[in-house]
Amino acid sequence: MRRLIRFPCAGETLVGTLDEATGTTGLLIVSGGNEVRAGAHRGMAMLAHRLAATGVPVFRYDRRGTGDSSGANGGYADSADDMAAAAACFRATAPHLRRLVGFGNCDAASALALFGRATGIDRIVLANPWVVESGDALPPAAAIRARYAQRLRDPRAWWQMLRGGVDARKLLLGLRKLSVREPDDLAARVLAAITAWGDDAQILLATGDATAIAFADATRGLGLAIDVIDTASHSFAGDAGAALETAIRRHLDGA
């Protein structure tokens, strides 16, 4: 059964959805970006339904200022109170829970790494963690490098370039970004937080996603255990959704 639940957070009212089940390990899904709790193309709602059908309780919620929740949207960096309120509500409405696993994609993964332990979450599954502080709309530098390397190996790309089929302005902006060192304060904080979780943190990366490429570049040589899913979809759309579900189930079983 799926229940709609309202609960307080810092003077505002958050709205969450509980997919009820009898299992003692529950999954708390934290939305990334400005996404609502249903997820891209309702991907998180469908994931919750399938997990609950096999005994895994799942709780999703809109943080302040997004979806059905009241208040101002302070972004992922200001979402610790929202996460704590959601975790407490989940445990209160499903008192049979013994363990709580948090799952988030993009900046929700970073928020889980940074704030999850203090909210009483026992284990985290992080997809494509966000580690780049950037003020422009371009992909992270690591993703630009990977894209350029791929295109330079493709004879068709050279032919397109010679025929003037390349956006010169976009090329110039990309080259300029490669020449500037990006701030790494966020990367350092997120990686330190993930390291502190030890074996209770699992990482999933979409092989062709720009955010995932940036994370892989930032963690090169650190020896982190990383599972990869062969997709360019940041939100694991289409067939990648089944692979995401399989990976999450594996980590739930190990909780």
Residue 223 confidence (pLDDT) = 82
For residue 135, pLDDT over 80 is answered with no
pLDDT digit string, tens, across residues 152-170: 455 665 445 555 555 545 5
Does 58 score more than 90 pLDDT? Answer: yes
Q: Looking at domain 2-133+183-253, what is its CATH homologous superfamily?
A: Alpha/Beta hydrolase fold, catalytic domain (3.40.50.1820)
Chain position carrying tokens 């780049």: 132
Could you give the CA distance from residue 205 to residue 211 in angstroms, rounded to a whole number?
A: 9
User: In which band, very low, low, confident or very high, does the pLDDT at 240 lie, cut at 50, 70 and 90?
Assistant: very high
The residues with which 94 forms a beta bridge, in sequence order, are none
How many CB atoms are closer than 10 A to CB 170?
Answer: 10
* Gap between the Cα atoms of 110 and 190, Å rounded: 6
Q: How far apart are CA 105 and CA 103, in angstroms?
A: 7
Beta-strand pair 12-19/2-9 = antiparallel
pLDDT digits 0-9 by tens, 74-108: 999 999 999 999 999 999 999 999 999 999 999 99
